[in-house]
Amino acid sequence: MTFLTDLFPRSSQGRSFAILVAIAMLVVGCTGSDNKNSGKPAGSSASGPTKAGSKRIILLNNTDSPFWDAARAGIKKAQEELKLSDAGFTASMDSNDGTETGQIEKLRQYGTQSDIAAVIISPISSTNPAIADELKKLKAKGITIGCFDSDLDKKFQEYREFYVGTNNIAGGKVLGTAAKLLKPQGASYVQFVGVDSQQNAIERMDGFTSAVGESYVQKDRKLDDADRNRARDNVRDVIAKYSDLSLLVGIWSYNAPAIVDVVKEKKARDKFTIVTFDAEAIAIQQMADGMIDAMVVQNPFAMGYESVRYAFAKAKGDQETLKG
């Protein structure tokens, strides 16, 4: 894993620097194992037009967010560069509603249709047996199953053939290390995230906690179910509740702007150090404006591109790509 660190000058808030860390993407679990039905799709429901008779590669996200715009661009680029249409394939992203039930229903819909070659999912819950069961059923139909952005729990990883994304434990530790650089004396903190059932959320929060150590006190973990209004309300709640709170930790992409919005509203920037994971466009600008102290970012463009590349290679039986 590699890290790229940029320092942005910061004077408006009295801080000397901001920390931006980009974490290299990884691909694990992709092999050239036999799948007699590869390239013979069976199930679909992603949005967007498709050509008659084409086979579909679907990336199913966890919730609709601007974070996924770059992944969609990566999907589009992969379609063009890999010439999917020449081989009778399309690729697109399908958006979930932020619930486990939503993903389960979409997976069931895919199983009733006959044109799906691959489903790559960012599972909203890593341990939900119903999600795992639907993936198992799709795999039994000959559909290639992968995960991106967030993985399944180890007990269910046999149902997916590859994972494309970040080492989220390492990412959480990097964010925790940045927090320690900014507040070496320790701090009381709260972590904000959509749900604590998704593997990337679990790993980022646990990684952060392990990195900051005993001089840091976690006051709470606030969940918002991917509701941006609730995300802001959660920030208001903890600011009012914990008088010793001095560190705010955003785990999902929209948590950063939610934290900044409330800190601005309270005119409380000098009271809080703000560290976040993932970068929506507005959060990048907020960091440049001095409202975020440290940010760990991923490469969603590459997640989209590589997910399509590996699924397409699996469908074609391209062993060189699968072994690469």
Same domain, 159 and 181: no
Same domain, 152 and 173: no
Same domain, 15 and 87: no
Identity of the residue numbered 210: S
Say if CB 115 and CB 54 are below 8 A apart.
Answer: yes
Residue 95's domain comprises 31-166+301-323
Structure confidence at residue 11 (pLDDT): 37
- Higher-scoring residue by pLDDT: 213, 27: 213
- Judged against a pLDDT cut of 90, whether residue 124 lies above it is answered with yes
Structure confidence at residue 180 (pLDDT): 97
Structure confidence at residue 27 (pLDDT): 74
Share the mean pLDDT of the chain: 89
Same domain, 121 and 190: no
How far out from the chain centre does Cα 52 lie? 32
- Judged against a pLDDT cut of 60, whether residue 140 lies above it is answered with yes
Same domain, 41 and 133: yes
Same domain, 145 and 122: yes
- Higher-scoring residue by pLDDT: 66, 56: 56
Q: Quick check: helix, strand or coil at residue 144?
A: strand
Structure confidence at residue 68 (pLDDT): 95
Same domain, 112 and 258: no
Say if CB 10 and CB 288 are below 8 A apart.
Answer: no
The top-scoring range by mean pLDDT among 16-25, 41-50, 52-61 is: 52-61
Angle of CA points 8, 9, 13, to nearest 5°: 110
The burial class, CB within 10 Å (0-12 / 13-18 / 19+), for 40 is: middle
Same domain, 123 and 217: no
Q: What is the mean pLDDT of residues 7-33?
A: 57
Q: Which two tokens stand for residue 113?
A: 């249709």
| CATH code for the domain of 178 | 3.40.50.2300
Same domain, 202 and 281: yes
- Judged against a pLDDT cut of 80, whether residue 247 lies above it is answered with yes
Same domain, 241 and 289: yes
Structure confidence at residue 269 (pLDDT): 98
- For the chain, the domain total comes to 2
For a pLDDT cut of 70, what percent of the chain falls above it? 86
Confirm whether pTM is higher than 0.85. Answer: no
Residues in Cβ contact with 42 at an 8 Å cutoff, skipping those fewer than 6 apart: 111, 113, 114, 116, 138, 141, 142, 143
pLDDT, tens only, 189-246: 999 999 999 999 999 999 999 999 999 999 999 999 999 999 999 999 999 999 999 9
Same domain, 162 and 307: yes
Same domain, 205 and 318: no
- Side-chain-facing half-sphere of 77: CA atoms under 13 Å: 14
Structure confidence at residue 23 (pLDDT): 78
